Amino acid sequence: RNHVATRFSGIEKSATYAVLELVHELRAKGVSVLDLGGGEPDFDSPEHVVAGAVDALHDGFTHYSPSRGLPELLTAISHKLREDSGVVADPATEIIVTPSAKHALFISLMTLLDPGDEIIIPTPSWVSYKSMAHLIGAVPVSAELSSENGFRVTRELLERYVTDRSKAILVNSPNNPTGHTLTPEEAEDIASFARDHDLFVVSDEIYEKIRYNRAEHISIAALPGMAERTLTVNGFSKGYAMTGWRLGYVAGPAPVISEVLKVQQHSVGCAGSFVQRGGLAALTGDQGVIAEMADEYAARMALIVKGLNSLPGITCDIPGGGFYVFPDIRGTGFSSSAEFAEWLLTEAGVAVMPGTAFGPGGEGHIRLSFATSRDVIEEAVGRMARDLAKRS
Ligand code: PLP
């Protein structure tokens, strides 16, 4: 008898974790591996954020918090949403603090989607959306974007994927893996599409704080008529370098948020109480640290884009945000991105993600993370140049 629930049969192990495991294995054998595969800031969390959590521990914040989150953090999030992107959310009824943006996404999808309901996911996309939909019995529908138009979302494309089971659409800007940030026209297209087909939007804005060349950050919930049909998900992992803290939030209309809260209450209870005090310090403290990290990402981005474009057969666009580049590798002569990524890891000791890991539209590309030092980036590009030259 198989004791594992059948809902797991279609679910793949996270591709990012798989690459990470391979990197650990190779390193254990003494191989020098440069890891550009993962998606985690290399910075430690800011000092004042750490102090906020340590103080909280000394203040006795070692108990459960309200399931919705600490009131002062909810107020700070409400303020941030309004200031940064014009999203109006009542801290008492329209926001929930969650242990990670990932959990916010999971409980949001759980709340919106019945088994069999479809959620449209423009792809290439972050690896977990599809698996989350599968886990709750919903149907992820990949809307395949094209690199030829810079992975832009168009109304015409979305119309091809809508059915009478469509219930929601997932939007991620700045985007992992493509680096694309939504333009006002695209955001408008998505909003009118959602309104016309009566869909909910789940907007994952986790990379909001990391943007380049004055790329705009647009929250779909701030567009006319969208607040009542959008769940905005964000968190502290990327912008504040707080991945290990597991802290995020979701904001949306009160009737939906009250249902999301039930899922949180019955799944995890609440986010860590002292962790939330760290989050409060992050939002209310000096924002200069974010700008410093963003400046460093910008320098690394320039370095990796220039380096990759100097390689034969590779073309790399400048991302609007996030800390990934998603170059086109079709000119290198490899038959697939998986073959290229495997070759790169075994020959050059450079770990990257094959584009296919991110779903339809990802083939012909690889994702490199530049959340690593400039030295590592230079060395990685150098190794790629050396080993690509050997092949030709
Ligand atoms: N959304 C996207 C697009 C991500 O890339 C990630 C992390 O890799 C997350 C959400 C999850 O963030 P968190 O660490 O808050 O769970």
Ligand 1 site-directed mutation target among 20, 77, 96, 128, most atoms within 8 Å of CB: 128
Q: What is the pTM of this model?
A: 0.96
CA of 386 to the centre of ligand 1 (A): 33
One-letter identity of residue 74: L
CA of 206 to the centre of ligand 1 (A): 6
Pocket of ligand 1 contains residue 101 by CB under 6 Å: yes
Report the run of H or E that residue 334 belongs to, with start and end. Answer: none
Q: In which order are the strands placed within the sheet that holds 95-98? A: 95-98, 248-251, 230-235, 200-204, 166-172, 118-123, 139-144
pLDDT digit string, tens, across residues 343-361? 999 899 999 999 999 999 9
Q: What is the structure's pLDDT at 45?
A: 97
Q: What is the structure's pLDDT at 158?
A: 97
CA of 334 to the centre of ligand 1 (A): 30
**Res. 296: pLDDT tops 90:** yes
Q: Which atom of ligand 1 is nearest to the CA of 39?
A: 8
ipTM > 0.95? yes
Ligand 1 site-directed mutation target among 176, 207, 275, 367, most atoms within 8 Å of CB: 176
Beta strand pairing status for 366-369 and 139-144?
unpaired
CA of 233 to the centre of ligand 1 (A): 10
Beta strand pairing status for 95-98 and 34-35?
unpaired
CA of 104 to the centre of ligand 1 (A): 10
For the segment 12-35, the average pLDDT, to the nearest whole number, is 84
In the chain, what are the domains?
6-44+288-391 (3.90.1150.10), 63-284 (3.40.640.10)
Q: What's the sign of the alpha-carbon dihedral 191, 80, 181, 360? A: negative
pLDDT digit string, tens, across residues 149-206? 999 999 999 999 999 999 999 999 999 999 999 999 999 999 999 999 999 999 999 9
